[in-house]
Amino acid sequence: MKTFFLVLVSSMFVNNVIFARFLGICPYVGVSKQVSTSFGMGMAVTFVMTLATAMTYLLNYFLLVPLKIEFMQTVMFILVIASLVQIVELVMKKVSKPLYNALGIYLPLITTNCAILGVALLVIQLQYNFPLAIIFAFCSALGFTLAIVIFAGIRERLETADIPRPFRNVPISFITAAILAMAFMGFSGLVK
């Protein structure tokens, strides 16, 4: 139980995917103009990341390791993630129209979101067991959602601020991110 809790806190706050691991910066900068869209993106990432990690984890231990072809990890994982995103999109369109309308537009963007592949590779590297890997993926994605929603909230305010011209858009986003990352560093003593 203690390990579960540690993984939860560590993956969500201490080693936040964006502020500590630098994964998924592109959607973080690209899809964070409004709180509502960034929340949608966060939910889509949570859904796909948990599913993708489960699949790549099983694939790794039931196919790649027995066949001793672990060097194929990169190729296999990215293919699984890319096809998974396609399937999720198709299924969602058929099964739940409202869910598709809410998350659908973010799905194609997720294939190239390095957080998905990054987390899938990390759980293998950290040698987690299966339940722990799922918790890690789910909480990392929640950490991503947290970061992107906080940032979108700040960015909505920035729209009306008088920013020096060269700093508008992307540069100010990074400087805001720097301050947020400093705030998140406050968590760093929590879990060793």
- Residues in the site for other proteins, rule: CB under 8 A? 19-26, 29, 71-75, 78-79, 82-83, 112-114, 117-118, 121-122, 125, 164-167, 170-175, 177-179, 181-182, 185
Closest of 21, 3, 1, 6 to residue 141, by C-alpha:
21
DSSP 3-state of 66: coil
CA atoms within 13 A on the CB side of 123: 33
Burial zone of 149 (CB within 10 Å; 0-12 exposed, 13-18 middle, 19+ buried): middle
The backbone region for 165, taken as left when phi is positive above 0, alpha when psi lies in -120 to 50, beta otherwise, is alpha
C-alpha distances in Å from residue 98, one per residue of 40, 92, 94, 142:
12, 9, 11, 21
